[in-house]
Structure 1
Amino acid sequence: MSTRFQFEFGKYRGILISVALFLLLDASVLMLNFYVSFEIADDAVGVNLAGRQRMLSQRMAKSLLVLDSARDDPAAFQAAYDELLLSKSLFDETLQAFSQGGSVRGAGKEMVMLDAVTNRAGRDALHNTEQLWRPYKIAVDNFIASRSANTGELTGDSQTALAAAVAMARLHNLPILASMNDLTISLEQVAASKAKRLRLIQTIGISLAVINFLFILLHFIRQLRDSDAVIEKARRETNEILQTVNEGLFLIDHQLIIGEQHSAKLSEVLGNQSFAGKSFQTLLENMISEKDAETARGFIELLFDPKIKEKLIGDLNPLSEVEVNIAQANGGFLTKHLQFTFARAYQEREISHVLVTVLDISAQVKLARELNESRKHNESQLEMLTSLLHTHPELLKEFIHNSFQCFNRINSILRQPAKSATAVRDKAVNIFREIHNFKGEAASLKLEFFENTAHAMEDTLAQLRTKPELSGNDYLGFTVQLENLISYTQQVQLLTEKLGQFALVGNSAPRVLSSQIIKGNRRSDGWEHLSDFVQNLALRNGKQLRLVSSGLSEIDLAPECEQQLKEICIQLLRNAVVHGIETPEERRLSEKSPIGRIDLRLAKLSDTEMELTVSDDGKGLDYQAIREKALGSGKWSEQEIESWSNKQLLGLIFQAGFSTAQELTKDAGRGIGMEAVMQHVIGQRGKITVASRAGEFCRFVISLPIIPRTTEIPTSATKGSAYAVTDDC
Structure 2
Amino acid sequence: MSGTTHTESRWQFDYGKYRGIIISIALFLLLDASVLLFNFYVSFEIADDAVGVNLAGRQRMLSQRMAKTLFVLDASRDDPQGFKTAFDELQLSKHLFDETLAAFNTGGVVRGAGKEVVTLEPVTNRLGRDSLLNTLALWQPYKNAIENFSNDVEQNTAFDGSLATAVAMARLHNLPILTSMNDLTLSLEQVAASKATRLRIIQTVGISLAIINFLFIMLHFVRQLRDSDKVIEKARRETTEILETVNEGLFLIDKDLIIGEQHSARLLEVLGQQGFAGKSLQVLLENIVSAKDAETARGFIELLFDANVKEKLIGDLNPLNLVEVNIAQDNGGFLTKHLQFSFARAYQKNDDDVQIISHVLVTVLDITAQVKLERALNESRKHNESQLEMLTGLLHTHPGLLREFIANSFNCFNRVNNILRQPAKTTQAVRDKATSIFREIHNFKGEAASLKLEFFENAAHKMEDTLALLCEKRDLSGNDYLGLTVQLENLISYTQQIEHLTEKLGQFAVVSNHIQRPATNHYSAGSRRSDGWDHLHDFVQNIALRNGKQVKLVASGLSEINLATAAQQQLKEICIQLLRNAVVHGIESPRDRELSEKPITGRIDLRLAKISDTEMELTVMDDGQGLDYEAIRTKAFKSGKWPEAEIETWTNKQLLGLIFHEGFSTAKDINKDAGRGVGMEAVMNHVLTQRGKISVSSRTGRHCRFVITLPIAHATSGEEIAA
1:482 is displaced (CA, Å) by: 2.5
Correspondence for 2:295: 297
Spell out the pairing of 1:200-349 with structure 2 (5 A cutoff): 244-249=245-250, 263-275=264-276, 278-288=279-289, 292-295=290-293, 297-298=295-296, 301=299, 319-341=320-342
Contact 2:587 2:622 in 1 (8 A): no
Deviations along 1:410-436, one digit per CA (max 9) or x if unpaired, are 233233332222112211211111111
Correspondent of 2:421 among 415, 424, 427 = 415
Spell out the pairing of 1:61-80 with structure 2 (5 A cutoff): none
Determine the C-alpha separation between the residues in 1 that align with 2:410 and 2:593: 42
Contact 1:258 1:278 in 2 (8 A): yes
Correspondence for 1:128: none
Correspondence for 2:624: 617
Q: Is 2:603 aligned against 1:602? A: no
Gaps of 5+ in 1: 1-8, 20-229, 508-519, 712-729
Computing the radius of gyration from Cα coordinates, the structure with the larger value is 1
TM-score by length of 2: 0.55
Determine the C-alpha separation between the residues in 1 that align with 2:575 and 2:2: 90
Contact 2:339 2:365 in 1 (8 A): yes
Spell out the pairing of 1:456-535 with structure 2 (5 A cutoff): 456-501=462-507, 525-535=531-541
Contact 2:606 2:621 in 1 (8 A): yes
User: Helix, strand or coil for the counterpart of 2:424?
Assistant: coil
Spell out the pairing of 1:538-577 with structure 2 (5 A cutoff): 538-541=544-547, 543-556=548-561, 557-577=563-583
1:444 is displaced (CA, Å) by: 1.1
Specify whether residues 337 and 563 from structure 1 end up closer, same or farther in structure 2 by C-alpha distance, changes over 3 A only.
same
Determine the C-alpha separation between the residues in 1 that align with 2:242 and 2:713: 85
Deviations along 1:612-650, one digit per CA (max 9) or x if unpaired, are 2242535x5555655555555555566666665555554
1:438 is displaced (CA, Å) by: 0.6
Contact 2:604 2:621 in 1 (8 A): yes
Contact 2:394 2:402 in 1 (8 A): yes
1:361 is displaced (CA, Å) by: 1.7
Determine the C-alpha separation between the residues in 2 that align with 1:376 and 1:650: 44
Contact 2:253 2:359 in 1 (8 A): yes
Contact 2:339 2:367 in 1 (8 A): yes
Deviations along 1:57-110, one digit per CA (max 9) or x if unpaired, are xxxxxxxxxxxxxxxxxxxxxxxxxxxxxxxxxxxxxxxxxxxxxxxxxxxxxx
**Among the aligned pairs, what percent are the same residue?**
65
What is the identity, as a one-letter code, of the residue corresponding to 1:687?
A: I
What is the identity, as a one-letter code, of the residue corresponding to 1:363?
A: A
Specify whether residues 335 and 555 from structure 1 end up closer, same or farther in structure 2 by C-alpha distance, changes over 3 A only.
same
What is the identity, as a one-letter code, of the residue corresponding to 2:340?
A: Q
1:500 is displaced (CA, Å) by: 3.1
Determine the C-alpha separation between the residues in 1 that align with 2:554 and 2:682: 22
Determine the C-alpha separation between the residues in 2 that align with 1:646 and 1:564: 29
Contact 1:303 1:310 in 2 (8 A): no
1:575 is displaced (CA, Å) by: 3.1
Correspondent of 1:397 among 384, 397, 403 = 403
Determine the C-alpha separation between the residues in 2 that align with 1:594 and 1:314: 59
User: Helix, strand or coil for the counterpart of 1:527?
Assistant: coil
What is the identity, as a one-letter code, of the residue corresponding to 2:451?
A: L
Determine the C-alpha separation between the residues in 1 that align with 2:2 and 2:234: 23
1:704 is displaced (CA, Å) by: 2.1
Correspondence for 1:175: none
What is the identity, as a one-letter code, of the residue corresponding to 2:496?
A: Q
Deviations along 1:475-500, one digit per CA (max 9) or x if unpaired, are 34333332332233233223323333
Aligned length in residues? 476
Determine the C-alpha separation between the residues in 1 that align with 2:396 and 2:265: 59
What is the identity, as a one-letter code, of the residue corresponding to 1:686?
A: K
User: Helix, strand or coil for the counterpart of 2:475?
Assistant: coil
Spell out the pairing of 1:343-358 with structure 2 (5 A cutoff): 357-358=363-364
Contact 1:663 1:669 in 2 (8 A): yes
Determine the C-alpha separation between the residues in 2 that align with 1:286 and 1:296: 9
What is the identity, as a one-letter code, of the residue corresponding to 1:265?
A: R
1:407 is displaced (CA, Å) by: 2.0
TM-score by length of 1: 0.55
Specify whether residues 234 and 582 from structure 1 end up closer, same or farther in structure 2 by C-alpha distance, changes over 3 A only.
farther
Gaps of 5+ in 2: 12-230, 349-353, 514-525, 717-723
Determine the C-alpha separation between the residues in 1 that align with 2:711 and 2:416: 27
Specify whether residues 321 and 302 from structure 1 end up closer, same or farther in structure 2 by C-alpha distance, changes over 3 A only.
closer
Contact 1:254 1:301 in 2 (8 A): no
Q: Is 2:440 aligned against 1:434? A: yes
